Structure 1
Amino acid sequence: HTLTNYKPDLTNTTAPMAISVFKLFEALWKPKNMSKLINHPVNGAGQRVFPSRTAKSDNTIGVRIDQGVTLADGSVILNVQENGKPHGKVLASVIVRPDDTPRDVYDRLKGECKKNPDLTFD
């Protein structure tokens, strides 16, 4: 019994491809887009916050921000998810308080994304 012809199956041993959030934050930086981080419908859980659902934005940005639940104090949870996966894994999330500015939310959301090793800013 020799192992000279043995070829291991390495198809499932590679790390998953990193998901880039660069274009998301680049697009969010515009004031009209940043304001969407704090203006949400009441009980709008599951609704897309940013970017708008278009084939172009879905392809170029690749991820989206969805509204999560509204908390008792009026705060709202925002979740970053991959496009095309309606009930996909939450890649990052942040609580938006009623007194937050768009920049507060932007900075916190960016910080949460940086904590996820599956996300990249390239």
Structure 2
Amino acid sequence: MSNSVKKAVKSLFEDAAKSQSAMTRLLNPAADGAGSRVYPARNPKNDAKYGIHVDKGEPVHDEPNKIRLKLQINSNADSTTLRDLAKKNPHRVVTNLVGVNERD
């Protein structure tokens, strides 16, 4: 993982840790809407600032109440390195995480 990606991940999660609602969205995402944005909110300012985002994935096979979360790079990131990585493969998943869906 490039140094730029590591910095972006650190920044994203440091800011998320300051907000109870952000942590709830990350740690306990709703089950509906695979492919939808979990954090940060989708807007040009956040996309540029963080350079990455977390999307909902599919449910984890044989693991009730668990959902995959996908960390992806934004194509309009302020960081040139992140922008270049996104241009090479705009749908690239940097890593998969797992969240617990207890909202049912």
TM-score normalized with structure 2 length? 0.66
Residues 4-61 of structure 1, C-alpha deviations (whole Å, 9 max, x = no match)? xxxxxxxxxxxx6632222211221121211111343334110010000111111111
Identity %: 27
Partner residue, 1:59: 48
Equivalent residue, structure 1, for 2:67 = 76
Aligned residue in 2 for 1:94: 97
Further displaced range: 84-93 or 62-71: 84-93
Higher helix share: 2
Q: Is residue 69–residue 77 contact of structure 1 (8 Å, CA) maintained in 2?
A: yes
Alignment CA distance shift 1:67-1:87 (3 Å):
farther
List structure 1 segments (4+ residues) > 6 angstroms apart after TM superposition: none
Contact 2:34/2:58 (CA < 8 Å) preserved in 1? yes
Max radius of gyration: which structure?
1
* Root mean square deviation of aligned Cα: 2.3
For residues 17 and 32 of structure 1, what CA distance do their matches in structure 2 show? 28
Match of 2:80 in 1: none
- Report the count of equivalent residues: 84
Distance 1:65-1:83 versus aligned 2 partners, 3 A rule: same
Moved more, 33-42 or 63-72: 33-42
SS of the residue 1:46 aligns to: coil
Question: Which stretch shifts more, 80-89 or 61-70?
Answer: 80-89
- Point out where structure 1 has 5 or more consecutive residues left out of the alignment: 1-15, 100-122
Query: C-alpha separation between the residues in 2 aligned to 1:38 and 1:54?
Result: 21
